[in-house]
Amino acid sequence: MNKPADMPTAVVGRQKMTPSEAFVETLVANGVTDVFGIVGSAYMDALDLFPLAGIRFISVAHEQGGGHMADGYARVSGRHGVCIAQNGPGITNFVTSTAAAYWAHSPVVVVTPETGSATIGLGGFQETEQLPIFSKITKYQAHVNNRVRMAELTARAFDRAQLELGPTQLNIPRDFFYGDIECEIPRPMTIERGAGGEKSLDEAAALLAAAKFPVILCGGGVVMANGQAEAIALAELLQAPVAASYLHNDSFPARHALWCGPLGYQGSKAAMKLIAKADVVLALGTRLGPFGTLPQYGMEYWPKNAKIVQVDADAKMLGLVKPISVGICGDAKAAAAALAARLAGKSLACLANKDARLADIKAEKAAWESELDGWTQEKDAWSLEVAKSSTYMHPRQMLRELERAMPEGAMVSTDIGNICSVSNSYLRFDQPRSMFAAMSFGNCGYAFPTIIGAKVAAPDRPAIAYVGDGAWGMSFGEIQTCVRENIPVTAVVFNNGQWGAEKKNHVDFYENRFLGVNLDKQPSWATVARAMGAEGVMIDTAGDVGPALRAACNAQKQGKTTILEMMVTRELGDPFRRDALALPVRHLAKYQATAARRG
């Protein structure tokens, strides 16, 4: 994405400068206006230049948070997110957030100053080998092996992050910031992605033209390619139902008649029932990740006999997880446009039965909505039991209230946890770049820092994080960043007093032998928020949820961060990994008490 017009521009032409200047000017050339991190002597010479370069340094509470902020920033803007820290421990703190950005396909540049080149290997202060650690969670690693290459390698790290859509590492021995060099600041390279090969597009168009029940599955590639308009046009041409791939609920507008909601864990039954009927699926900008198409609600909905056309910008993803009939290595936007151009004016088999299909879509959506309306609480025996003795809200009831109160243009990040997962059924968006889930890396502690980064990139949009209380314990320290740096967001903290998602496994597989899952003696998170300089509100009544969310989002306009602590029962929705757990088998006598009881 292009940088805004009013940004400073980098120096032009070959000239003398310091490597620090070369580094910072290359950031400027790439339109960098915000960098997240914690101050450190390793890069202080470059940091000193940030204000005059027009770069804001956002001082965070923990480097992991800074990495997630860079991720959220990149995901909402399409521009690079940048984070930087002190060599050694500051850099190892980036590992989790870099892995998360990798699986979110975020163009994050992780700048990792390293111990001095003259003493590498001697085991000095804050030394660790920084390249192997990130080798499997970055798309590219640049190591500045000579100070004269500072601008060249910095520029390449930025180019590759966009080219390969994922984090890159820029490793800089700390002494290489100093000295005199002569160089030119490279201009960013924009490599245009095409629609894909002519032959594969022709084959795909032929399949779609002959399809009687085509379904489009829109993935993150549609969002990243800014291709929603093209996806809509293609869907309308085919009058095809559109499902969103798992955690990409913002890939197709929820208000559209053809929208059916997300597939995957706690997704939309309407989307699942409709895709199950497909004879041709166009998987547009999705790698068809294995977790995202697992059976749900006892339903095997993936249409095994359908022809699958998969479009992905990364050729390695084509046919990797699911068998496909046609693979198109292309940009989702360009490919959707190319397919629409091929189909325009052709006789399309699917138009003959479009009225029946539209009626089907309408009926399935209505059925799912009314099921959700009635599904205010979980119905399994354990949930009914714990809810009976509680005066708190049912999680689903609260999530429905949040959905109803969601302000226009809201951005929502979601964490990993039982309630966050259930929220998948209730998160609908009309514009892309609105949903920032923890994606397939699935780390607790993702949502809050990510929404802070998103808010920096889009200060006029309401910014809301959904976070379980366990994950909140990992990430609430970033309230300091909100307050100190004046980045107003809203965190909705689901207080169920437990690491619920894991507890669900104890209930389903371990006969309620709870171990390490109850979060007893938690502080009042609303009080903690107030002590930290934010607003904190405790809510235990469903009727208060909507007004509180709206008030908190309005308070963002006055620069206020609000933590809404939702008091909910301990009931639990379906587990994450039913696919990967087994009932316990014990052979040793001393462990017999933990064996699954038979019969």
Residue that the structure tokens 């997704």 belong to: 267
Rounded to a whole number of angstroms, the minimum distance from the CB of residue 470 to Mg ion is 5
Pick one of ligand TPP, Mg ion, none as the site partner of residue 88 (Cβ within 5 to 8 A by kind): none
Would you count residue 500 as binding ligand TPP (CB under 6 A)? yes
> Near ligand TPP by CB under 6 A, which window of 129-137, 228-236, 358-366, 439-447?
439-447
Tell me the C-alpha to C-alpha distance, in Å, between residue 354 and each of 240, 260, 261, 551. Answer: 8, 16, 19, 43
Rounded to a whole number of angstroms, the minimum distance from the CB of residue 419 to Mg ion is 7
Which residue, 94 or 301, is less far from ligand TPP as judged by CB?
94
Rounded to a whole number of angstroms, the minimum distance from the CB of residue 568 to Mg ion is 9
Residues 469, 478, 565, 571: which binds ligand TPP (CB under 6 A)? 469
Q: How many CB atoms lie within 10 A of CB 104?
A: 27
Would you count residue 575 as binding ligand TPP (CB under 6 A)? no
Pick one of Mg ion, ligand TPP, none as the site partner of residue 330 (Cβ within 5 to 8 A by kind): none
Rounded to a whole number of angstroms, the minimum distance from the CB of residue 97 to ligand TPP is 11
Which residue, 180 or 385, is less far from Mg ion as judged by CB?
385
Helix (H) or strand (E) holding 122: none
The residue among 114, 79, 73 whose CA lies nearest residue 97 is 73
- C-alpha span between 336 and 222 (Å, rounded): 9
Query: What is the β-pairing status of strands 181-183 and 15-17?
Result: antiparallel
Rounded to a whole number of angstroms, the minimum distance from the CB of residue 451 to ligand TPP is 15
- C-alpha span between 592 and 584 (Å, rounded): 10
Which residue, 171 or 266, is less far from Mg ion as judged by CB?
266
Query: Total number of residues binding ligand TPP (CB under 6 A)?
Result: 19
* 36 DSSP β-pair partners: 58, 83
Which residue, 18 or 498, is less far from ligand TPP as judged by CB?
498
Would you count residue 449 as binding ligand TPP (CB under 6 A)? no
* CA neighbours closer than 13 Å in the CB half-sphere of residue 243: 31
Which residue's CB atom is positioned nearest to ligand TPP?
A: 468
* CA neighbours closer than 13 Å in the CB half-sphere of residue 298: 0
Would you count residue 63 as binding ligand TPP (CB under 6 A)? no
- C-alpha span between 453 and 357 (Å, rounded): 41
Pick one of ligand TPP, Mg ion, none as the site partner of residue 436 (Cβ within 5 to 8 A by kind): none
Pick one of ligand TPP, Mg ion, none as the site partner of residue 107 (Cβ within 5 to 8 A by kind): none
Rounded to a whole number of angstroms, the minimum distance from the CB of residue 438 to ligand TPP is 8
Pick one of ligand TPP, Mg ion, none as the site partner of residue 532 (Cβ within 5 to 8 A by kind): none
Rounded to a whole number of angstroms, the minimum distance from the CB of residue 418 to ligand TPP is 4
Contact present, 307 and 332 (Cβ < 8 Å): no
* CA neighbours closer than 13 Å in the CB half-sphere of residue 195: 17
Residues 18, 97, 310, 418: which binds ligand TPP (CB under 6 A)? 418
Which residue, 287 or 570, is less far from ligand TPP as judged by CB?
570
Rounded to a whole number of angstroms, the minimum distance from the CB of residue 445 to ligand TPP is 6
Residues 470, 488, 536, 575: which binds ligand TPP (CB under 6 A)? 470
Which pair of structure tokens corresponds to residue 353? 């039965």
Which amino acid type is present at position 589?
A: A
- C-alpha span between 73 and 481 (Å, rounded): 15
- C-alpha span between 14 and 151 (Å, rounded): 11
Residues 126, 200, 296, 443: which binds ligand TPP (CB under 6 A)? 443
- C-alpha span between 461 and 481 (Å, rounded): 18
For the chain, how far is it from start to end, CA to CA, in angstroms? Answer: 60
Contact present, 271 and 243 (Cβ < 8 Å): yes
Pick one of Mg ion, ligand TPP, none as the site partner of residue 544 (Cβ within 5 to 8 A by kind): none
Would you count residue 419 as binding ligand TPP (CB under 6 A)? yes
Would you count residue 98 as binding ligand TPP (CB under 6 A)? no
Residue that the structure tokens 């990510």 belong to: 450
Contact present, 164 and 194 (Cβ < 8 Å): no
- C-alpha span between 554 and 17 (Å, rounded): 46
Which residue, 327 or 468, is less far from Mg ion as judged by CB?
468
Which residue, 221 or 470, is less far from Mg ion as judged by CB?
470
Burial class (CB in 10 A: 0-12, 13-18, 19+), 306: buried
List, in sequence order, every beta strand (DSSP E) within 461-518: 463-468, 490-495
Residues 71, 250, 502, 544: which binds ligand TPP (CB under 6 A)? 502
Rounded to a whole number of angstroms, the minimum distance from the CB of residue 111 to ligand TPP is 24
Residues 350, 416, 451, 567: which binds ligand TPP (CB under 6 A)? 416
- C-alpha span between 272 and 263 (Å, rounded): 6
Rounded to a whole number of angstroms, the minimum distance from the CB of residue 213 to ligand TPP is 36
Q: Which strands sit side by side in the sheet containing 168-173, from one edge to the other?
A: 56-59, 34-37, 81-84, 108-114, 168-173, 140-143
Rounded to a whole number of angstroms, the minimum distance from the CB of residue 472 to ligand TPP is 7
| Contact positions vs Mg ion (CB under 5 A) | 468-470, 496, 498, 500
> Near ligand TPP by CB under 6 A, which window of 63-71, 171-179, 196-204, 415-423?
415-423
Residues 407, 442, 477, 546: which binds ligand TPP (CB under 6 A)? 442
The residue among 396, 373, 374, 376 whose CA lies nearest residue 494 is 396
Residues 282, 454, 471, 563: which binds ligand TPP (CB under 6 A)? 471
Which residue, 364 or 565, is less far from Mg ion as judged by CB?
565
- C-alpha span between 302 and 575 (Å, rounded): 20
Would you count residue 308 as binding ligand TPP (CB under 6 A)? no
Q: Cα torsion for 166, 177, 7, 106, to the nearest 10°?
A: 10
Which residue, 36 or 472, is less far from Mg ion as judged by CB?
472
Positions touching ligand TPP (CB under 6 A) are 416-419, 442-445, 468-471, 494, 496, 498-502
